[in-house]
Every structure is written in C-alpha cells, then in structure tokens.
Amino acid sequence: MKRLRDWFGSDAGGPDAGISRAPETVDLAGGRSYRPEALLRPVNPAFIWASLFGALLLDLLPWGPTIPAPDFVALALVFWNVQQPRRVGMATAFVFGLLIDVHDGALFGQHALAYTLLSYGAISLHRRIRWFPVLGQVPHVLPLLLVAQVASLAVRMSVGGPFPGWGYFLQSVVGALLWPFASWLLLVPQRRPIERDATRPL
C-alpha cells in the first residue's frame, strides 16, 4: 500500500516522513521549471508486445452488453505511445486495429483508423502527458479514447449503422478511470526497488 500511495502522489506521513524527498518541480533559468521523474529500468520489448497481446485477449473476451468494459487495446496503445513512442507507433496501432476488425466482423479498417488517430494524438501529446502525475494524466487520456470511439462510430454510421446510444461512450470513461491502475501495472517491471543510501544524491 505504501508503494501505491507514493505512486499516486500521497504526501501522508509515515515511516519515511522524516526523509527529504525530491521537490515536485525544480526552478530553472529563464523562469522554466522541471519536474523530476523516478528512475526506471530500460523497458523490455518482449514485455511491450506481451502486454499488447494480453490487452487484445482481454478485448476478445465476451464481456456482454451489460458491462461497460473498456477498450483494453486502446488503453495499452495510449500507454506505450506515451512511454515509448519510438517503439510503439501508428503502424502498430493500425495492425492491432485490423485484428480487432477481423474478430468483430466490423467494417474492415474501422478500428484501424480509430487506433491510428488515437496513436497519433498520444504521440503528439506524449511529452505534455508525462509532465503530469498519473492522476493528472486522466483528463488527457479521456479525450484521446473518446476521439477513437467517435472515429469508429462515424465509420460505422457512414455505412448505415445505427447510433448505439450515449452509453456507448462509457467505454472511454471506464478506460480513463482505469488509467492510473494500468500505468502502475505496466511500469512494475521497470520500477527500481527503493534503496536509501545517504552517500548518493540519487
């Protein structure tokens, strides 16, 4: 629980309350500021692809219409587009979109277009999104997920599909609410153990 409190930015007291922590922002010359980030291990490419295919398997489960299950592939794509934009780009999003189209029997290219737009937006904003703490990233992730849903819906309705109702967009809301947990989970392999050493500055 302590690690979760540290990850979500809690300042509550505890055993480490007397330990000085890095400031939220560091003032630089010219009126600029910098927010220090925790040091992470290099990401394993195998884990990236395993997480994407794991998200695909979750999307293939029969959730049913009564459960507003999020688009797990879209959520994983946004995460890796933000964290590793050079490894996971729009081509990856396009391929996974085609896989979803094949499974759902949807208009070929419907999800491919939606995921490509999603990936483009996430990569374009990845520096801005990473500047915020994980809870502050949620208002940025929600519009990205909504844009993907609107694009997919527009393609479907352009060929005569019905409007599914406003509840259709609950998928993006649930996905945005899961963003803090998804971020914490996908960064677990990269997170370094906390080792306090008074002789080292980091």
- The DSSP string of 149-193 is HHHHHHHHHHTTPPP--GGGGHHHHHHHHTHHHHHHHHTGGGBPP
Percentage, residues of the chain above pLDDT 90: 55
Structure confidence by residue, pLDDT tens digits, 126-141: 999 999 999 999 999 9
65 found inside a domain: no
98 found inside a domain: yes
Return the pLDDT at 39.
Answer: 73
Query: Higher model confidence: residue 6 or residue 16?
Result: 6
Return the pLDDT at 37.
Answer: 60
Residues of the domain holding 138: 71-187
141 SS3 class: helix
Distance, in Å, from the CA atom of 93 to the CA atom of 82, rounded to the nearest integer, reads 13
Return the pLDDT at 190.
Answer: 87
The chain-wide mean pLDDT, for the chain, equals: 81
Nearest alpha-carbon partner for 102 in 59, 66, 63: 59
Structure confidence by residue, pLDDT tens digits, 73-91: 999 999 999 999 999 999 9
9 found inside a domain: no
Distance, in Å, from the CA atom of 121 to the CA atom of 74, rounded to the nearest integer, reads 12
Query: Higher model confidence: residue 10 or residue 115?
Result: 115
Return the pLDDT at 15.
Answer: 39
Return the pLDDT at 11.
Answer: 43
Distance, in Å, from the CA atom of 40 to the CA atom of 106, rounded to the nearest integer, reads 39
Distance, in Å, from the CA atom of 105 to the CA atom of 63, rounded to the nearest integer, reads 16
Please state the rounded mean pLDDT for residues 38-60.
90
154 found inside a domain: yes
Distance, in Å, from the CA atom of 7 to the CA atom of 194, rounded to the nearest integer, reads 12
